[in-house]
Amino acid sequence: MKVLLIGSGGREHALAWKLSQSNRVTEIMVAPGNGGTAVLPKTHNVPVAAEDIDQLLTLARQESIALTVVGPEAPLVDGIVDRFNDAGLRCFGPLAAAARLEGSKAFAKDFMLRHNIPTAAYANFSELSDALAYLQNQTMPVVIKASGLAAGKGVIIAETKAQAEQAVRSMLEHNQFGDAGQQVVIEQFLCGEEASFIVLASGTDYIAFPSSQDHKRAFDGDLGPNTGGMGAYSPAPVVTDKIQALIETRVIQPSLQGLADDGLAYTGFLYAGVMIDDTGQPHVLEYNCRMGDPETQPLMMRLNSDLVDLIEAALDNQLAAFDVSWDQRPALGIVLAANGYPGAYSKGSILSNLPSPSDDLMVFHAGTKLNDNQQPITAGGRVLCVTALGDDFTAARAHAYATIEQITVADCFFRNDIGHRALKH
Ligand code: AMP
Ligand code: GLY
């Protein structure tokens, strides 16, 4: 079968790598892909942007694509699955109306309130004066969120009322987040440890993936600005069996049931970002309507089952009978990023001394492309993610660090403490 995979990040390289291992797959087209997907077996890139739904639809028709898998959120929120389904094409992901769980934080908060899913107390605003008045009675810190998609940059944790006021003004008055900031969520600050919990869902049936955890801040010690994620590992030791059971019964099951009850039955990957407080209670920070990046990289290293079978089982409502198999060993990935990321950064540095892949080590590319000599060069903020499986976290981490240190490239950095929480547990 021919598969179309949409996206260009490390998540997509990991998904393409796993899809390419399926005996049922003859060819994978990645739109637009990166320097890693360009050289995977059976796989090639096509120069169509992930947001260009018209072109993607034309491509899928022309190429007789049997299955389309969507990596990033933007096309899902824009209704790619609706469009493909209308054209009679199989496309894995939620419909636009259900993808609003990620596309509108205000919608997601109202949804959680309505379905009694634990989350921080909040209020939604589109009028500046109302938001400013509400802030007067809040205790600090408080969290201000642009409701729409903002590539992970739309969340501001304000320590003082002045900062909170400035954040609200930046969104509702100065329009710094464009349409995404036309509505804001103001919510209570939650303390605890974050984890990522991803399921593959088909209506109210789901397969829970092993827990994972990423490092959002740019620098060692969890300092510096928020990023898309500087490293990730699976499992997340904070998610004990007991806490996993709570996440499933208090978050995942009521979310899928609530969606179905609201007429928004969900097919696709559903990602709940949860904060686990010191009594072990999970609260939802956000939903994503897709896999995490870089969480996907360690998760795909651990998945033994055929990913095409898994996705088709979800599309065919056969998840309940699916026996998924995981590698019991932990996996850990370290992101190499361009200097300056998540702000402005330079591109075009040649990457050399990249190790060959092996059963327990993969270098998943993200912001890379091949130059005219077929050498990979940097082309994005997050450049790649070195991901290793190990008998324990210490071994996986040592292998990933030994590998990333060998890579030769100018103007890039990585964190030196990926996995520090996992090791502490
Ligand atoms: P979000 O995109 O909503 O997940 O927010 C991005 C990041 O901001 C999260 O991963 C958390 O680290 C932080 N964050 C969001 N909401 C809260 C909250 N209510 N309390 C504490 N931290 C938060
Ligand atoms: N790593 C966080 C995310 O994918 O949203």
- 285 ligand 1 Cβ < 6 A: yes
* pLDDT above 90: residue 425: no
According to the model, what pLDDT value does residue 162 have?
94
Closest residue CA from atom 2 of ligand 2: 292
Is the confidence at residue 152, as pLDDT, over 80? no
Whole-number percent of the chain with pLDDT over 90: 97
Mean pLDDT over residues 182-186, rounded? 95
With a 6 Å cutoff on the Cβ, whether 59 touches ligand 1 is no
User: Average pLDDT of 396-411?
Assistant: 97
- For the segment 89-99, the average pLDDT, to the nearest whole number, is 98
Q: What dihedral do alpha carbons 220, 226, 231, 234 form, nearest 10°? A: 120
Question: What average pLDDT does the segment 106-119 reach?
Answer: 98
DSSP state of 93: S
Residue 102 Cβ inside 6 Å of ligand 2? The answer reads: no
* Model pLDDT, residue 107: 98
Banded model confidence at residue 121, pLDDT cuts 50, 70, 90: very high
Nearest ligand, CA 226: 1
Could you tell me if the CB of 247 is within 6 A of ligand 1? no
Q: How far is the CA of 146 from the centre of ligand 2 (A)?
A: 16
144 lines ligand 1 (CB under 6 A): no
pLDDT in tens, 262-277: 999 999 999 999 999 9
Q: Which protein residue's CA is at the shortest distance from atom 3 of ligand 2?
A: 292
Atom of ligand 2 lying closest to residue 152 CA: 5
The residue whose C-alpha atom lies closest to atom 4 belonging to ligand 2 is: 292
- Separation CA 138–CA 381 (nearest Å): 36
Q: Residue 110: which pLDDT band, with cuts at 50, 70 and 90?
A: very high
Instruction: Determine which residue's CA is closest to atom 5 belonging to ligand 2.
Output: 292
Q: Which atom of ligand 1 is nearest to the CA of 189?
A: 20
**Mean pLDDT in the chain?**
96
Whole-number pLDDT of residue 64: 97
Nearest ligand for residue 149 CA: 1
Provide the pLDDT for residue 424.
Answer: 85
Q: How far is the CA of 274 from the centre of ligand 2 (A)?
A: 12
- Give, as one character, the DSSP assignment of residue 249: I
- C-alpha–C-alpha distance, residues 20 and 367, integer Å: 20
* Residue pLDDT, tens place only, 319-373: 999 999 999 999 999 999 999 999 999 999 999 999 999 999 999 999 999 999 9
Write the single-letter amino acid at 373. N
- Give the position of tokens 């403490």: 417
Residue nearest to atom 8 of ligand 1 (CA): 155
> Strand 43-45 relative to strand 27-32: parallel, antiparallel, unpaired?
parallel
User: What totals of helices (H) and strands (E) does the chain contain, helices first?
Assistant: 14, 23
Q: How far is 133 from 421, CA to CA, in rounded Å? A: 39
Strands 2-7 and 27-32: parallel
What are the two backbone dihedrals, phi and then psi, of residue 50, each rounded to the nearest 5 degrees? -65, -20
Q: Which ligand is nearest to the CA of 142?
A: 1
Ligand in closest contact with the CA of 196: 2
CB of 277 sitting under 6 A from ligand 1: no
Per-residue pLDDT, 407: 97
- What pLDDT sits at residue 153? 80
Q: What is the pLDDT of residue 272?
A: 98
